[in-house]
Amino acid sequence: MQIIHTVKELREWRKTAGKVAFVPTMGNLHEGHLALVREAKKRADNVVVSIFVNRLQFGQGEDFDKYPRTLQQDAGKLADEGVAVVFTPDEKELYPNVEQRYNVEPPHLQNELCGKFRPGHFRGVATVVGKLFNIVKADVACFGKKDYQQLTIIKGLVEDLNFDIEIVPVDTGRASDGLALSSRNQYLSKTERAEAPRLYRELQKAAEAVRSGSVAYLQIEKEVVRSLSEAGWTVDYVEIRHAQTLEVARAGDTELVILGAARLGNTRLIDNLEVLLS
């Protein structure tokens, strides 16, 4: 496995790499990331994993500086998975002018759901992903459904800006008690970790209500918020949306996703659940 730090070297390697699948990450890898890598492996001759903690997608007061940098452990895991290249540029390599002057600007969806609580986040994601797509020139890229809004925005920018890459959504990896795998789980205290699966359980309850035919989406959302709040969570949002467009769901929609974001102590967790009605 090669560890490559510069755009130039990566481009040189790319010339003879055949079909390439790409998994962009910020490192601090867990089983959820490795599931993306395994999906990627199935689809190409070579897998590139990028590890880059992208300042652009962190807001003020967010944890950019404290974000765990664990390159050595990450590289070990990726070598074991048969990854061809770890691309881990430093900040000067991706932002040589410090300021990113040209940005990929997503539509209003960037200011809804998680975007409402993280101004500028999805612009930062869209821009760095656009940059990485242009650098890696992969044929396929894998993104987790855990970050459902991010996945939707990536699919949108690929379609709208004509990137020649196939986006493969990968199911959310979960602990045995249902908690979605996330780098942030490591910040949970023992008590919080025991409480954390409630988010997924509540989304499941909401999904059950939807599947049983209720279109009282607002009421279903409120019920989840109430349950979580009573259990000590601070809820950012719980929303039922159209699974493809992430527009507010309307009665009659058959492809839905229920998304939630809520904080336990200082840790913000997100999760979601697709509901396909027949």
- 53 in helix, strand or coil? coil
Helix (H) or strand (E) holding 124: helix 121-136
Tell me if 128 sits within 8 A of 121, measured CB to CB: no
121 among known catalytic residues? no
Q: How far is the CB of 134 from a second copy (least distance, A)?
A: 4
Shortest Cβ distance from residue 98 to a second copy (Å)? 11
What distances in angstroms separate CA 95 from CA 12, 54, 130, one per listed residue?
20, 10, 13
Q: Is there a binding annotation on residue 42?
A: no
The verdict on whether residue 147 carries a ligand-binding annotation is yes
Q: Closer CB to a second copy, residue 106 or residue 144? A: 106
Report the interface residues with a second copy, using CB under 8 A.
7, 11, 97, 100-107, 126-127, 130-132, 134-135, 137, 156-157, 160-164
Helices 121-136/7-14 angle, 10° precision: 50
**Distance between CA atoms of 167 and 169, rounded to whole angstroms?**
6
Rounded alpha-carbon distances, angstroms, from residue 249 to 171, 203, 270: 22, 15, 19
- Which of residues 133 and 217 has its CB atom nearest to a second copy in the complex? 133
- Asked whether residue 33 is marked as a ligand-binding residue, the answer is yes
Helix (H, G, I), strand (E, B) or coil at 214: coil
The conformational region for residue 260 under phi > 0 = left, psi -120 to 50 = alpha, else beta, is beta
From the CB of 183, what's the least distance to a second copy, in Å? Answer: 26
Give the residue with the Cβ less far from a second copy, 40 or 94. 94
Compute how many other C-beta atoms are within 10 angstroms of the C-beta atom of residue 243: 19
Least spacing, CB of residue 52 vs a second copy, in Å: 12
Closest CB to a second copy among residues 8, 116: 8
Choice among 5, 33, 108, 121 that is catalytic = 33
**Is 26 annotated to bind ligand?**
yes
**Any binding-site annotation on 213?**
no
Instruction: Report the binding-site residues.
Output: 26-33, 57, 144-147, 150, 173, 181-184
Instruction: Report the binding-site residues for ATP.
Output: 26-33, 144-147, 173, 181-184
Instruction: Report the binding-site residues for (R)-pantoate.
Output: 57, 150
Catalytic residues: 33
